[in-house]
Structure 1
């Protein structure tokens, strides 16, 4: 689901970049760096998260997907200095194989880490997105996520300013309970902020065949 004009402007603002850096450091504390890793990002927006994955987490490459052509254009400009380390594609987070076909990504066990900087709550079929994350992660690969829960989306500010799926929103408990159904073990590597509005965590992909 595409962001509306208000949220699109917000995600490309200086305050959002400061907040995203704070979020990235929380994820770093929970899951560590990814030096030299091949990684993927769900919903890259204007590319600041992609930049953090490369510069802060130390990934060797990021395959990043987004639905919005305007955001992809901004991300390409921001990430120009990274060259082929940042490979951007238009497409859906629930079908990474199609989105990344031109770079040979999105296949089973393609990545050592997948990053979600507050994107899955925009996806109506959010369980399908988690299944896709699990499919493309190699055994032992890490899923870094920060998410906005149903608690936050029910607040007046979110309801008035932003557009989000109105059905099947997830609470913290529902999101965490869904992870092991896809072979993703989060253990105690998760935290919430602001009364459960925001969820941060790192889940590890189990060996294939285990759920």
Structure 2
């Protein structure tokens, strides 16, 4: 589900970008470490603020950034045009049907997009499919606790059913074979959850 104009406005302003750079990305780095020299997928890249952080803060060698909204992909391409094409690919794409082979990426980043997906369990399953053994899933998500509030219901558009709590999201991530354990934290009184799921390394 695409963002409506209100949420798109909120996501595309300097305050949101500053919070992303100075709060969200550092928190995920503390939970999961850097991705130095690795191949990374970002689902729901928006206008590319997170993609920049994946390169600059996390140290990724290459990034495949995707978003279901053609307008956001166009904005991301403009913002990220300084990165060479052999290191960056920005495409329209659906997180429930990722255009990549199994075990293609060392890490996947989700900066608060999966709560927009009606079948969010399918999105988590696809992320697990494309992660290599030993891969990491960095997630920041908005929970049912926030989406049930009047401000979210009145101003924004989200799936009205199949929403998740922190516990439900982490349980699904682990059910799909990515261990979170204690590598997560809540913010906003339970409105948001940040964490990292890890795929077991290959045997031997």
What's the counterpart of residue 14 of structure 1?
Answer: 14
What's the counterpart of residue 155 of structure 2?
Answer: 161
TM-score by length of 2: 0.96
SS of 2:58's equivalent?
coil
Distance 1:148 1:82 in 2: 30
- Equivalent residues of 2:185, 2:193 under 8 A apart: yes
Offset, 1:208: 7.2
Structure 1 segment 102-117 matched on structure 2, within 5 A: 106-117=100-111
- Equivalent residues of 2:134, 2:202 under 8 A apart: no
Offset, 1:176: 0.8
TM-score by length of 1: 0.93
Distance 1:110 1:204 in 2: 15
Distance 2:61 2:12 in 1: 24
What's the counterpart of residue 199 of structure 1?
Answer: 193
1:65-102 CA distance string (max 9 Å, x none)? 111111111100110111222201112011112xxxxx
Distance 2:197 2:150 in 1: 31
Structure 1 segment 18-37 matched on structure 2, within 5 A: 18-21=18-21, 22-37=23-38
Q: How many residues align?
A: 201
Query: Gaps (5+ residues) in structure 2?
Result: none
- Equivalent residues of 1:50, 1:86 under 8 A apart: no
Is 1:178 the counterpart of 2:172? The answer is yes
Is 1:122 the counterpart of 2:116? The answer is yes
- Pick which of 79-88 and 182-191 moved more: 79-88
SS of 1:36's equivalent?
coil
Offset, 1:12: 1.1
Let me know the Cα RMSD of the aligned residues. 1.2
Query: Gaps (5+ residues) in structure 1?
Result: 98-105
Offset, 1:205: 1.1
- Equivalent residues of 1:111, 1:138 under 8 A apart: yes
Q: Which runs of 4+ in 1 moved over 6 A?
A: none
Structure 1 segment 42-53 matched on structure 2, within 5 A: 42-53=43-54
Offset, 1:206: 2.5
Distance 1:201 1:179 in 2: 10
SS of 1:83's equivalent?
coil
